[in-house]
Structure 1
Protein backbone atom coordinates (compact mmCIF):
# COMPACT_ATOMS: atom_id res chain seq x y z
CA UNK A 1 0.00 0.00 0.00
CA UNK A 2 1.12 3.51 -0.61
CA UNK A 3 1.48 6.26 1.97
CA UNK A 4 -1.55 7.94 0.39
CA UNK A 5 -3.81 5.10 1.60
CA UNK A 6 -2.74 5.78 5.20
CA UNK A 7 -2.88 9.59 5.02
CA UNK A 8 -5.21 11.14 7.56
CA UNK A 9 -7.90 13.40 6.11
CA UNK A 10 -7.48 17.17 6.30
CA UNK A 11 -10.13 19.82 6.83
CA UNK A 12 -9.97 20.42 3.06
CA UNK A 13 -10.75 16.72 2.52
CA UNK A 14 -13.65 17.07 4.98
CA UNK A 15 -15.07 20.09 3.17
CA UNK A 16 -14.75 18.30 -0.19
CA UNK A 17 -16.47 15.15 1.17
CA UNK A 18 -19.28 17.29 2.62
CA UNK A 19 -19.63 19.02 -0.76
CA UNK A 20 -19.92 15.68 -2.59
CA UNK A 21 -22.54 14.52 -0.07
CA UNK A 22 -24.49 17.78 -0.50
CA UNK A 23 -24.44 17.29 -4.28
CA UNK A 24 -25.80 13.76 -3.83
CA UNK A 25 -28.61 15.02 -1.56
CA UNK A 26 -29.48 17.81 -4.02
CA UNK A 27 -29.95 15.16 -6.70
CA UNK A 28 -32.01 12.99 -4.31
CA UNK A 29 -34.14 16.01 -3.40
CA UNK A 30 -34.83 16.89 -7.02
CA UNK A 31 -35.48 13.30 -8.05
CA UNK A 32 -37.33 11.76 -5.12
CA UNK A 33 -38.13 14.12 -2.23
CA UNK A 34 -39.50 17.39 -3.61
CA UNK A 35 -43.10 16.19 -3.91
CA UNK A 36 -43.26 14.50 -0.50
CA UNK A 37 -45.14 16.19 2.36
CA UNK A 38 -41.96 16.27 4.53
CA UNK A 39 -40.13 18.58 2.06
CA UNK A 40 -39.73 22.19 3.26
CA UNK A 41 -39.56 24.35 0.10
CA UNK A 42 -38.02 27.23 2.08
CA UNK A 43 -34.79 25.24 2.56
CA UNK A 44 -31.97 24.01 0.40
CA UNK A 45 -29.15 21.49 0.81
CA UNK A 46 -25.97 22.59 2.57
CA UNK A 47 -22.95 20.89 4.13
CA UNK A 48 -22.17 22.70 7.40
CA UNK A 49 -18.92 22.77 9.33
CA UNK A 50 -17.24 19.70 7.88
CA UNK A 51 -13.91 19.17 9.64
CA UNK A 52 -11.65 16.43 10.95
CA UNK A 53 -11.93 15.25 14.54
CA UNK A 54 -9.63 12.44 15.74
CA UNK A 55 -8.91 11.48 12.14
CA UNK A 56 -12.62 11.31 11.27
CA UNK A 57 -14.54 13.61 8.95
CA UNK A 58 -17.65 14.98 10.65
CA UNK A 59 -20.16 17.71 9.89
CA UNK A 60 -23.85 18.47 9.60
CA UNK A 61 -25.97 18.02 6.49
CA UNK A 62 -28.99 20.33 6.15
CA UNK A 63 -31.66 19.35 3.62
CA UNK A 64 -35.30 20.36 3.15
CA UNK A 65 -36.32 17.09 4.85
CA UNK A 66 -33.69 16.49 7.57
CA UNK A 67 -30.70 17.81 9.51
CA UNK A 68 -28.18 15.10 10.42
CA UNK A 69 -24.70 14.83 11.84
CA UNK A 70 -22.84 12.77 9.24
CA UNK A 71 -19.48 11.14 8.65
CA UNK A 72 -18.06 8.62 6.19
CA UNK A 73 -18.94 5.22 7.63
CA UNK A 74 -15.81 3.52 6.35
CA UNK A 75 -13.77 5.58 8.80
CA UNK A 76 -15.73 4.59 11.88
CA UNK A 77 -17.56 1.37 10.99
CA UNK A 78 -14.81 -0.94 9.76
CA UNK A 79 -15.84 -3.70 12.13
CA UNK A 80 -19.39 -2.55 12.92
CA UNK A 81 -22.07 -5.21 12.95
CA UNK A 82 -25.67 -4.19 12.43
CA UNK A 83 -27.34 -0.99 11.33
CA UNK A 84 -25.87 1.42 13.89
CA UNK A 85 -22.80 2.25 15.93
CA UNK A 86 -21.72 4.53 18.74
CA UNK A 87 -19.13 7.21 18.02
CA UNK A 88 -17.31 9.17 20.69
CA UNK A 89 -17.37 12.91 20.05
CA UNK A 90 -16.20 15.54 22.53
CA UNK A 91 -19.74 15.99 23.87
CA UNK A 92 -20.07 12.24 24.48
CA UNK A 93 -21.06 9.01 22.75
CA UNK A 94 -23.52 9.50 19.89
CA UNK A 95 -25.57 6.75 18.19
CA UNK A 96 -25.23 6.79 14.38
CA UNK A 97 -27.26 4.85 11.81
CA UNK A 98 -25.35 3.30 8.91
CA UNK A 99 -26.50 3.81 5.36
CA UNK A 100 -25.42 4.29 1.78
CA UNK A 101 -25.72 7.39 -0.39
CA UNK A 102 -24.77 6.96 -4.04
CA UNK A 103 -22.28 7.96 -5.35
CA UNK A 104 -20.64 8.96 -2.04
CA UNK A 105 -20.75 5.52 -0.42
CA UNK A 106 -21.38 4.38 3.15
CA UNK A 107 -22.23 7.06 5.70
CA UNK A 108 -22.97 7.19 9.40
CA UNK A 109 -25.70 9.66 10.34
CA UNK A 110 -27.40 10.91 13.49
CA UNK A 111 -30.70 12.70 13.10
CA UNK A 112 -31.06 16.13 14.69
CA UNK A 113 -34.31 17.26 13.03
CA UNK A 114 -36.80 15.59 10.72
CA UNK A 115 -38.95 16.90 9.19
CA UNK A 116 -37.63 20.47 8.91
CA UNK A 117 -40.80 22.55 9.28
CA UNK A 118 -39.48 24.22 12.46
CA UNK A 119 -37.24 26.31 10.16
CA UNK A 120 -38.76 29.25 8.30
CA UNK A 121 -35.68 29.83 6.16
CA UNK A 122 -32.18 28.62 5.35
CA UNK A 123 -30.35 31.13 7.61
CA UNK A 124 -32.26 29.76 10.62
CA UNK A 125 -31.46 26.16 9.68
CA UNK A 126 -27.78 26.97 9.09
CA UNK A 127 -27.48 28.82 12.41
CA UNK A 128 -29.00 25.83 14.19
CA UNK A 129 -26.63 23.43 12.42
CA UNK A 130 -23.61 25.54 13.37
CA UNK A 131 -24.76 25.74 17.00
CA UNK A 132 -25.41 21.98 17.13
CA UNK A 133 -21.96 21.19 15.74
CA UNK A 134 -20.35 23.57 18.23
CA UNK A 135 -22.16 21.74 21.06
CA UNK A 136 -21.07 18.33 19.75
CA UNK A 137 -17.45 19.50 19.65
CA UNK A 138 -17.59 20.93 23.18
CA UNK A 139 -16.01 18.42 25.58
CA UNK A 140 -18.58 17.17 28.09
CA UNK A 141 -16.27 17.92 31.01
CA UNK A 142 -15.25 21.42 29.88
CA UNK A 143 -16.09 24.36 32.13
CA UNK A 144 -18.49 25.71 29.51
CA UNK A 145 -20.40 22.41 29.21
CA UNK A 146 -20.64 22.02 32.98
CA UNK A 147 -21.84 25.62 33.34
CA UNK A 148 -24.52 25.07 30.68
CA UNK A 149 -25.79 21.93 32.40
CA UNK A 150 -26.06 23.61 35.81
CA UNK A 151 -29.64 24.66 36.53
CA UNK A 152 -30.09 28.45 36.45
CA UNK A 153 -32.40 28.23 39.46
CA UNK A 154 -32.77 25.57 42.09
CA UNK A 155 -35.26 22.82 41.31
CA UNK A 156 -38.75 23.51 42.59
CA UNK A 157 -39.53 21.31 45.54
CA UNK A 158 -43.23 20.42 45.60
CA UNK A 159 -43.47 20.62 49.40
CA UNK A 160 -41.92 24.11 49.54
CA UNK A 161 -44.06 25.24 46.63
CA UNK A 162 -47.22 24.16 48.45
CA UNK A 163 -46.03 25.84 51.67
CA UNK A 164 -45.41 29.11 49.83
CA UNK A 165 -41.68 29.08 50.56
CA UNK A 166 -40.87 30.09 46.97
CA UNK A 167 -43.03 33.22 47.19
CA UNK A 168 -41.48 34.13 50.54
CA UNK A 169 -37.99 34.09 48.95
CA UNK A 170 -39.07 36.51 46.27
CA UNK A 171 -39.74 39.29 48.68
Structure 2
Protein backbone atom coordinates (compact mmCIF):
# COMPACT_ATOMS: atom_id res chain seq x y z
CA UNK A 1 0.00 0.00 0.00
CA UNK A 2 1.46 3.31 -0.96
CA UNK A 3 0.93 6.47 1.04
CA UNK A 4 1.27 8.69 -2.02
CA UNK A 5 -1.41 11.40 -1.87
CA UNK A 6 -0.93 11.96 -5.63
CA UNK A 7 -2.73 8.72 -6.59
CA UNK A 8 -5.88 9.51 -8.60
CA UNK A 9 -9.00 8.99 -6.46
CA UNK A 10 -10.39 6.14 -8.56
CA UNK A 11 -7.04 4.27 -8.50
CA UNK A 12 -6.64 4.89 -4.76
CA UNK A 13 -10.15 3.62 -4.03
CA UNK A 14 -9.52 0.53 -6.18
CA UNK A 15 -6.28 -0.06 -4.28
CA UNK A 16 -8.16 0.34 -0.97
CA UNK A 17 -10.83 -2.14 -2.07
CA UNK A 18 -8.14 -4.60 -3.11
CA UNK A 19 -6.41 -4.32 0.27
CA UNK A 20 -9.75 -4.88 2.01
CA UNK A 21 -10.31 -7.99 -0.11
CA UNK A 22 -6.88 -9.36 0.80
CA UNK A 23 -7.52 -8.67 4.48
CA UNK A 24 -10.89 -10.44 4.23
CA UNK A 25 -9.10 -13.43 2.73
CA UNK A 26 -6.71 -13.50 5.69
CA UNK A 27 -9.62 -13.41 8.13
CA UNK A 28 -11.44 -16.19 6.24
CA UNK A 29 -8.36 -18.36 6.65
CA UNK A 30 -8.08 -17.45 10.35
CA UNK A 31 -11.77 -18.22 10.79
CA UNK A 32 -11.49 -21.67 9.24
CA UNK A 33 -8.23 -22.52 10.99
CA UNK A 34 -8.69 -21.06 14.47
CA UNK A 35 -12.08 -19.46 15.15
CA UNK A 36 -14.87 -21.69 13.81
CA UNK A 37 -15.06 -23.95 16.88
CA UNK A 38 -14.89 -21.16 19.47
CA UNK A 39 -18.05 -20.08 21.34
CA UNK A 40 -17.75 -16.48 20.05
CA UNK A 41 -18.19 -17.58 16.40
CA UNK A 42 -21.58 -16.64 14.87
CA UNK A 43 -22.29 -19.27 12.18
CA UNK A 44 -24.92 -17.00 10.59
CA UNK A 45 -22.21 -14.57 9.45
CA UNK A 46 -19.34 -14.61 6.99
CA UNK A 47 -16.30 -12.42 6.37
CA UNK A 48 -16.87 -9.20 4.42
CA UNK A 49 -14.76 -6.11 3.72
CA UNK A 50 -17.18 -3.17 3.82
CA UNK A 51 -16.69 0.32 2.40
CA UNK A 52 -12.94 0.24 1.87
CA UNK A 53 -11.74 3.57 0.48
CA UNK A 54 -8.81 5.96 0.36
CA UNK A 55 -8.82 8.42 3.26
CA UNK A 56 -5.98 10.73 4.39
CA UNK A 57 -3.36 8.92 2.30
CA UNK A 58 -4.27 5.46 3.56
CA UNK A 59 -6.94 2.79 3.31
CA UNK A 60 -9.90 2.69 5.71
CA UNK A 61 -12.87 0.35 5.93
CA UNK A 62 -14.80 -1.99 8.18
CA UNK A 63 -14.11 -5.70 8.49
CA UNK A 64 -17.08 -7.90 9.39
CA UNK A 65 -16.34 -11.43 10.58
CA UNK A 66 -18.36 -14.03 12.51
CA UNK A 67 -16.49 -13.00 15.67
CA UNK A 68 -15.95 -9.20 15.37
CA UNK A 69 -16.65 -6.00 13.47
CA UNK A 70 -13.73 -3.53 13.40
CA UNK A 71 -12.77 -0.31 11.67
CA UNK A 72 -9.42 -1.23 10.10
CA UNK A 73 -6.53 0.32 8.21
CA UNK A 74 -3.03 -0.79 7.28
CA UNK A 75 -0.74 0.52 9.98
CA UNK A 76 2.43 0.56 7.91
CA UNK A 77 2.17 4.23 6.92
CA UNK A 78 0.96 5.50 10.29
CA UNK A 79 2.65 3.23 12.82
CA UNK A 80 6.13 4.66 12.22
CA UNK A 81 5.20 7.62 14.40
CA UNK A 82 4.08 5.58 17.41
CA UNK A 83 5.94 3.33 19.80
CA UNK A 84 2.97 2.03 21.79
CA UNK A 85 0.29 -0.60 21.08
CA UNK A 86 -2.32 2.02 20.11
CA UNK A 87 -2.74 5.32 18.33
CA UNK A 88 -5.40 7.98 17.83
CA UNK A 89 -6.50 8.81 14.30
CA UNK A 90 -8.48 11.90 13.34
CA UNK A 91 -11.61 11.38 11.25
CA UNK A 92 -14.18 13.95 10.17
CA UNK A 93 -16.37 12.85 13.12
CA UNK A 94 -13.47 13.13 15.60
CA UNK A 95 -10.57 11.12 16.99
CA UNK A 96 -10.79 7.40 17.61
CA UNK A 97 -8.25 5.05 19.16
CA UNK A 98 -6.85 2.13 17.20
CA UNK A 99 -4.96 -0.91 18.46
CA UNK A 100 -2.05 -2.25 16.45
CA UNK A 101 -1.73 -5.97 15.72
CA UNK A 102 -0.22 -8.39 13.22
CA UNK A 103 -2.71 -10.12 10.92
CA UNK A 104 -1.25 -13.11 9.11
CA UNK A 105 0.40 -12.20 5.81
CA UNK A 106 -1.10 -8.67 5.90
CA UNK A 107 1.36 -7.37 8.47
CA UNK A 108 0.61 -4.62 10.96
CA UNK A 109 -3.04 -3.53 11.00
CA UNK A 110 -4.69 -0.78 13.04
CA UNK A 111 -8.14 -1.78 14.37
CA UNK A 112 -10.91 -0.16 16.37
CA UNK A 113 -13.35 -2.72 17.73
CA UNK A 114 -17.03 -1.97 17.14
CA UNK A 115 -18.65 -5.29 18.09
CA UNK A 116 -17.34 -8.54 19.56
CA UNK A 117 -18.79 -11.08 19.73
CA UNK A 118 -21.33 -10.72 16.90
CA UNK A 119 -24.41 -12.51 18.26
CA UNK A 120 -26.61 -9.39 18.05
CA UNK A 121 -26.57 -9.85 14.24
CA UNK A 122 -28.99 -12.43 12.84
CA UNK A 123 -27.49 -12.36 9.35
CA UNK A 124 -24.95 -10.69 7.05
CA UNK A 125 -27.50 -8.19 5.78
CA UNK A 126 -27.86 -6.70 9.27
CA UNK A 127 -24.12 -6.75 9.93
CA UNK A 128 -23.34 -5.20 6.54
CA UNK A 129 -25.92 -2.43 7.02
CA UNK A 130 -24.50 -1.63 10.45
CA UNK A 131 -20.96 -1.48 9.05
CA UNK A 132 -22.01 0.88 6.24
CA UNK A 133 -23.94 3.15 8.64
CA UNK A 134 -20.99 3.23 11.05
CA UNK A 135 -18.52 4.19 8.33
CA UNK A 136 -20.87 6.91 7.07
CA UNK A 137 -21.14 8.30 10.60
CA UNK A 138 -17.35 8.22 11.02
CA UNK A 139 -16.92 10.23 7.83
CA UNK A 140 -19.56 12.82 8.80
CA UNK A 141 -17.71 16.02 9.77
CA UNK A 142 -18.18 16.77 13.47
CA UNK A 143 -19.22 20.35 12.73
CA UNK A 144 -21.64 19.53 9.94
CA UNK A 145 -25.29 20.50 10.39
CA UNK A 146 -26.29 16.82 10.38
CA UNK A 147 -23.75 15.86 13.08
CA UNK A 148 -24.64 18.83 15.28
CA UNK A 149 -28.32 17.96 15.01
CA UNK A 150 -27.64 14.38 16.10
CA UNK A 151 -25.72 15.00 19.32
CA UNK A 152 -25.50 17.16 22.39
CA UNK A 153 -24.04 20.64 21.89
CA UNK A 154 -20.84 19.85 23.84
CA UNK A 155 -18.54 17.54 21.90
CA UNK A 156 -15.33 15.76 22.72
CA UNK A 157 -13.07 13.30 20.93
CA UNK A 158 -14.90 10.09 20.11
CA UNK A 159 -14.83 7.60 22.92
CA UNK A 160 -15.32 4.08 21.54
CA UNK A 161 -17.80 3.09 24.27
CA UNK A 162 -19.92 6.21 23.69
CA UNK A 163 -19.71 5.70 19.93
CA UNK A 164 -21.04 2.15 20.27
CA UNK A 165 -23.77 3.15 22.71
CA UNK A 166 -25.02 5.81 20.31
CA UNK A 167 -24.31 8.64 22.76
CA UNK A 168 -22.65 10.63 19.98
CA UNK A 169 -25.57 10.21 17.58
CA UNK A 170 -28.57 10.77 19.82
CA UNK A 171 -29.77 13.69 21.86
CA UNK A 172 -29.96 12.78 25.51
CA UNK A 173 -32.80 14.53 27.29
Please indicate the TM-score interval, normalised by the length of the shorter structure.
0.7 to 0.9
**Counterpart in the other structure of 2:117:** 115
Shift of 1:7: 3.2
Shift of 1:77: 1.3
Which of 3, 7, 13 is 2:4 aligned to? 7
Q: Where do 5+ consecutive residues of structure 2 fail to align? A: 154-169
Trace 1:76-91 onto structure 2 (pairs within 5 A): 76-91=78-93
Name the CA distance, whole Å, in 2 between partners of 1:88 and 1:154: 25
Q: Where do 5+ consecutive residues of structure 1 fail to align? A: 156-171
Aligned residues: 152
Cα 1:6–1:99 shift into 2, 3 Å: closer
**Counterpart in the other structure of 1:130:** 132
CA contact (8 A) 1:76 1:87 kept: no
Trace 1:39-78 onto structure 2 (pairs within 5 A): 39-78=41-80
CA contact (8 A) 2:51 2:132 kept: yes
Give the TM-score normalised by structure 1. Answer: 0.84
- Spell out structure 1 runs of 4+ moving beyond 2 A: 4-9, 150-155
